[in-house]
């Protein structure tokens, strides 16, 4: 028998959807800057990409402040508890309707694999994108900083594009796993309403 619990607070939902919108828009404009297709035009795509990046930075500063002042940062502490069970569920159990090994609560909203995935984004994909993006944005100041002899625009573009593809893969996996809840849409509904339906 299932029950509903209030998992995601109002700011979490606002932060999640705002962040998702900005990241998707930055992927769209970023791949246009890379020359993958023509949508806004190169110059406009660069401007929109830059504005979105600064907006996302502002959102993250506010979100970090909120997480630390509310104690919600503890939700992202990585753990190996039930990791094997989660891997078995996602690789086999999900296809044979096996019971979900993790039950979300207000104190434990993310399963162990989610926590590890978010840690990877926080420690690897995010820094790769932000650092390369920072160098790309301030290309004209490299000589002033004294790094123009050690950094090339080609390598900065390569690492930024590699980070973008990693973020795209994370986004695809994230959306796919939203269908692994009590029903295929229960996780998405929870991130809209705050209420999660669990077994």
Among the ranges given (14-18, 124-128, 181-185), the one the predictor scored with the smallest mean pLDDT: 181-185
pLDDT band at 181 (very low <50, low <70, confident <90, very high): confident
Radius of gyration of the chain (CA): 19
pLDDT at site 182: 79
Distances in Å between the alpha carbon of 161 and those of 80, 84, 133, 168?
31, 32, 10, 10
pLDDT at site 106: 82
Angle at 116 between CA 171 and CA 90, to 5 degrees: 70
Per the structure, the complete domain to which residue 130 belongs is given by: 3-198
pLDDT at site 1: 64
Considering the chain, what is the average pLDDT of its residues? 92
pLDDT at site 88: 92
Among the ranges given (13-27, 146-160, 184-198), the one the predictor scored with the smallest mean pLDDT: 184-198
Q: How far apart are CA 34 and CA 46, in angstroms?
A: 10
pLDDT at site 2: 73
Torsion angles phi and psi, residue 104, rounded to 5: -70, 145
Q: What is the rounded average pLDDT of the residues 95-104?
A: 86
pLDDT at site 129: 96
Contact 186, 196 (CB under 8 A): yes
76 token code pair: 């992202």
For the domain that residue 175 is a member of, what is the CATH number? 1.20.950.20
pLDDT band at 104 (very low <50, low <70, confident <90, very high): confident
pLDDT at site 162: 96
Q: What is the rounded average pLDDT of the residues 11-24?
A: 97
Convert the pLDDT of each residue in 122-161 to its tens digit.
999 999 999 999 999 999 999 999 999 999 999 999 999 9
Question: Model pTM?
Answer: 0.89
User: How many distinct structural domains can be found in the chain?
Assistant: 1
Q: What is the rounded average pLDDT of the residues 44-63?
A: 96
pLDDT at site 186: 87
pLDDT at site 183: 83
Contacts of 11 (CB under 8 A, 6+ apart): 66
């Amino acid at each position: 028998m299932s029950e509903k619990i209030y998992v995601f607070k109002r700011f979490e939902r606002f932060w999640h959807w705002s962040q998702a919108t900005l990241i998707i828009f930055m992927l769209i404009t970023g791949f246009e800057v890379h020359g993958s297709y023509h949508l806004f035009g190169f110059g406009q795509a660069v401007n929109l990409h830059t504005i979105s990046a600064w907006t996302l930075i502002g959102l993250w500063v506010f979100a970090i402040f909120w997480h630390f002042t509310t104690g919600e940062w503890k939700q992202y502490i990585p753990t190996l508890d039930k990791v094997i069970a989660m891997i078995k569920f996602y690789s086999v159990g999900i296809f044979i309707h096996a019971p979900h090994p993790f039950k979300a609560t207000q104190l434990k909203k993310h399963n162990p694999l989610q926590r590890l995935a978010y840690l990877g984004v926080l420690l690897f994909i995010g820094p790769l994108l932000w650092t390369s993006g920072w160098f790309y944005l301030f290309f004209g100041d490299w000589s002033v900083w004294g790094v123009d002899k050690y950094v090339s625009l080609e390598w900065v573009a390569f690492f930024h594009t590699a980070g973008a593809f990693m973020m795209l893969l994370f986004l695809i996996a994230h959306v796919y796993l939203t269908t692994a809840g009590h029903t295929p849409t229960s996780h998405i509904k929870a991130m809209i309403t705050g209420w999660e339906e669990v077994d």
